[in-house]
Amino acid sequence: MIDVALTGDALRTADVAIVIDVLRATSTAAQALGAGYRRVLCVGSIERARELRADGRVLAGERRCVMPAGFDQGNSPREALDRRGEELVLATTNGAPTIVAAAARAPTVLLACLLNLDAVVADLLRREEVHGADLQVVCSGTDGAVALEDVYLAGRLTARLRGPRTDAALVAEGVARAFPTPLDALAASADAGALNTAGLTADIAYCARESQLDVVPTVVSTSAGVAIVMRADSRGHARQSARSSR
C-alpha cells in the first residue's frame, strides 16, 4: 500500500518510509551529501547536536529558521554547498526529529526533496523490497500542522509509483496537481512566509529546483538518538560506515 502521513504525527510502522521536509531539512541533507559530506547525522535536539561536536563535524540547524548559538551554519541547502568537514550534524525543528522517529519504525528510510525527486523515484522503482511493500511517505509538517510544500512533494512522488494507495495519498496527489510549478507550491506555503521573514527568501527558490541531485539520502543505522544518513545514487545503495557516531 502506498500511504502518505500528512504530518509527522501520522508516522507509523512501515516497510519503507520516505521522509520529506522540503523547507528545508531534507533539501539540506541531500545537498550536503551531494556536496561531498560523507554522512549526515540527524538528531532530535540542539543539545544532542552539541554533544556530537568533534573534529571534522559541522553543526548545522535552526530554531525558528535561524542558526542556533554555537552552531557552524544554519539549515540552508545553500550553505551546505560549501563542504566544511566530513560529516554534517543536522538539528532542525521538524525534519530531523521526523527522520530519527521514522528510523525507529521502518527498516528502510529514504529522504526526499524536490532536488532529488527523480533519483528517489528511480531508487524506489529499482528496490525489490518496495514492490508490494507497505510504503509510507512522511511529511514532516510544521509544529504538528500540515506543511503545503511537503504534501505537494508527497503527491508528486506517489503519483509516480505503481500500486494501491490510501486516501491520504490521493489527497496529496490532488494537491500536487493544483500547482503549475514547484515554486508556485512552495511560495504559497506558510513556511515560505517564515523564511521570507527571516531574510532567507533565496532558500525557497533553491529548494524548488527539481531533480538536480542524483543523491538518495538513506538511513544506514541509528545509534543513541542519531539517524546516520549516507548517499545512494544510480550506482546502488548506501553502505554502512565503519565509524561510529559516538
Q: Which residues bind ligand MLT (CB under 6 A)?
A: 21, 23-25, 62, 65, 75, 92-96
Q: Which is nearer to ligand MLT, 92 or 218 (CB)?
A: 92
How many Å apart are CA 242 and CA 109, to the nearest integer? 19
Q: Which CB atom, from 171 or from 198, has the smaller least distance to ligand MLT? A: 198
DSSP codes, 151-170: HHHHHHHHTTS-S-B-HHHH
* Closest residue to ligand MLT using C-beta atoms: 92
CA gap 148, 76 in Å, rounded: 19
Residue 139 beta carbon to ligand MLT: minimum distance, rounded to whole angstroms: 12
Q: Give the position of cell 530531523.
A: 96
Give least dist CB 72 to ligand MLT, A.
Answer: 16
Question: How distant, in Å, are the alpha carbons of 26, 83, 216 from that of 75?
Answer: 10, 14, 19
CB of 18 to ligand MLT, least distance (A): 16
Q: Are 113 and 237 in contact (CB under 8 A)?
A: no
| Of residues 60 and 176, the one with the C-beta less far from ligand MLT | 60
> 92 or 189, CB closer to ligand MLT?
92
Least Å distance between CB 67 and ligand MLT? Answer: 10
